[in-house]
Chains A and B, each alone.
Chain A
Amino acid sequence: MNHLLDALELLGDAESWQGSGGFGARAVEHLWYTAVAVAASALIALPLGLYVGHTGKGRYPAVLGSGVVRALPTLGVITLAALFVGIGLTAPMIAFIVLAVPSIIAGAYSGVESVSQVTVDAARAQGMTPWQVLFKVEIPLGLPLILGGLRLATLQVVATGTLAAYVGAGGLGRQLFLGLRTQDYPLMLAASVLVILLAIALDAVFSLSQRAARLRTGP
């Protein structure tokens, strides 16, 4: 338990939060990586997923993709990317996007698919164009599941984000690997606790927004 106390003391010490290499800057960096990676992935994946859900085309590769990603070892993806593009932020970003895209696609198409065919038919019968059906019916009603895909992708990126430091980028993994190399268990522990708190906080934000989306569309 002494290690835990040391770690907490480290986290309670204002000095360890300050500066460009402090916990504060690293946590912001970690969040920033996550935001950029999830936004970039969403830009690619949401249109694809909505297309699959709306038209029913390409469902098989989409299902297969999310299955393959679950089996893909994240460390393998990130190190392989690093050998090709060199150390720095590019390799982790490629890995983040590779890992996040399938979850977002899966969330988007299952969200659209979850809307009952009767509702979609009724919307068409009202004279809505396909775009109106998509934006006014399918997306709002499928929003909880679409957010679910983004939630899974975000958690995946936060987790993989700790490995970014292994291939020379920043984030909270920096302190974690510094602690590992210098046999400083309290430092590793403090960084780990921060990453876990970050993940749980982001998960809670998504959980709340999913609940809000569900309330808005009714049961």
Chain B
Amino acid sequence: MGWILNNSSRILELTLDHLLLSAPAIVATFILALPLALVANAVRPLREVVISGTGLLYAIPSLPLFIVLPLILGTGVRDPLNVVAALTLFGLALMVRSAADALQSVPQEVRLSSTALGHSRLGRFFTVDLPLAGPGLLAGLRVVSVSTISLVSVSAVLGVRSLGSLFTDGFERNIVPSIVAGILCTAVLALVLDLLLVAAGRLLMPWAHRGGRA
């Protein structure tokens, strides 16, 4: 406990670094997954290709991806952009399937009647499809958020600063509290982000939690 208190400012800094790597990846995952899911649903033959293709990304181990990705991006291995891009790919592996399923769960009658009421295609997507698919999208995003936050740490062995640095430092200098603090902070960060997502869901979809779906 003493070690953690003595190093609280450093732990706080690393938590912030951790958040700055994971939050952009979670947001990017959400934004990119929607069009991919739409394409997968709209063009039948593509559905399996898009969904299993992104799903296959999940089979790729994280550390090797952090190392191979700079070849494509032209960044350095330690570049935050590289880490965010790799995390986004892992996020997509989980998110595209849940987004495609969520968007597909919107009943066809509802779509047809909203078109009959005069919604444009784009208008219908934002005012009808997206809100109705909301609970499913939120469930997918919560999984992505938790797994992204736990994946970030691995990049610490490459020298990228995050809560994972508490593991590498703790291991190299034989400080157990450092590693324990890293695990606890990762869990707390994941929990806080999860609660924020749930709260955002309640705010944006006040009708959803009454049915006990989210």
Q: Is residue A79 contacting chain B, with contact meaning CB distance below 8 A? A: yes
* Assembled-state Cα–Cα distance A191/B66 (Å): 12
* Assembled-state Cα–Cα distance A12/B27 (Å): 40
Chain B, 128-187, CB within 8 A of any chain A CB? 143, 146-147, 149-154, 156-158, 163-164, 166-168, 170-171, 174, 176, 179-180, 182-183, 186-187
CB-CB under 8 A from A177, the residues of chain B are 157
Q: Which of B59, B143, B158, B176 contacts A180 (CB 8 A)?
A: B158
Interface size on B, residues (CB 8 A): 41
Q: Is the CB of A159 within 8 A of B167?
A: no
* Assembled-state Cα–Cα distance A189/B151 (Å): 20
Q: Is residue B62 contacting chain A, with contact meaning CB distance below 8 A? A: yes
Q: Is the CB of B156 within 8 A of A75?
A: yes
Q: Is residue A27 contacting chain B, with contact meaning CB distance below 8 A? A: no
* Assembled-state Cα–Cα distance A70/B67 (Å): 22
* Assembled-state Cα–Cα distance A187/B176 (Å): 32
Convert A61-98 into 0s and 1s, putting 1 for each residue whose CB lies closer than 8 angstroms to a CB of B.
Answer: 00000010011111111011011100000000000000
Q: Is residue B1 contacting chain A, with contact meaning CB distance below 8 A? A: no
Q: Which of B67, B143, B167 contacts A75 (CB 8 A)?
A: B167
CB-CB under 8 A from B68, the residues of chain A are 189, 192-193, 196
CB-CB under 8 A from B64, the residues of chain A are 162, 176, 191-193, 195-196
Q: Is the CB of A75 within 8 A of B154?
A: yes
CB-CB under 8 A from B182, the residues of chain A are 73, 76
Q: Is the CB of B59 within 8 A of A155?
A: yes
Q: Is residue A166 contacting chain B, with contact meaning CB distance below 8 A? A: yes
Q: Is residue B81 contacting chain A, with contact meaning CB distance below 8 A? A: no
Q: Is the CB of A71 within 8 A of B150?
A: yes
Q: Is the CB of A155 within 8 A of B58?
A: yes
Q: Which of B59, B146, B180, B183 contacts A199 (CB 8 A)?
A: B59
CB-CB under 8 A from A70, the residues of chain B are 143, 146-147, 150
Residue of A nearest to B66 (CB): A192
Task: Among B60, B62, B64, B153, find the residue whose CB has the most chain A CB atoms closer than 10 A.
Answer: B64
CB-CB under 8 A from A71, the residues of chain B are 146-147, 149-150, 186-187, 190
- Given contacts A71-B146, A79-B179, are A159 and B63 in contact (CB under 8 A)? yes
Q: Is residue A29 contacting chain B, with contact meaning CB distance below 8 A? A: no
Q: Is residue B71 contacting chain A, with contact meaning CB distance below 8 A? A: yes
CB-CB under 8 A from A4, the residues of chain B are 71
Q: Is residue B38 contacting chain A, with contact meaning CB distance below 8 A? A: no
Q: Is residue B65 contacting chain A, with contact meaning CB distance below 8 A? A: yes
Convert A165-188 into 0s and 1s, putting 1 for each residue whose CB lies closer than 8 angstroms to a CB of B.
Answer: 011000001001100100001001
* Assembled-state Cα–Cα distance A166/B187 (Å): 23
Residue of B nearest to A69 (CB): B150
Closest 3 CB pairs of A and B: A159-B61, A192-B64, A79-B171
Could you list some 28 contacts between A and B, CB below 8 A?
A: A1-B71, A71-B146, A73-B152, A73-B154, A73-B167, A73-B183, A73-B186, A75-B153, A75-B157, A75-B167, A76-B179, A76-B183, A77-B183, A79-B170, A80-B167, A80-B183, A83-B174, A83-B179, A162-B61, A185-B77, A188-B77, A189-B67, A189-B71, A192-B67, A192-B68, A195-B64, A196-B64, A196-B68
Known: A67-B146, A82-B171. 4 other contacts (CB 8 A): A70-B143, A70-B150, A71-B150, A72-B183
Give me the interface of B with A, judged by CB distance under 8 Å: 56, 58-65, 67-68, 71, 77, 143, 146-147, 149-154, 156-158, 163-164, 166-168, 170-171, 174, 176, 179-180, 182-183, 186-187, 190
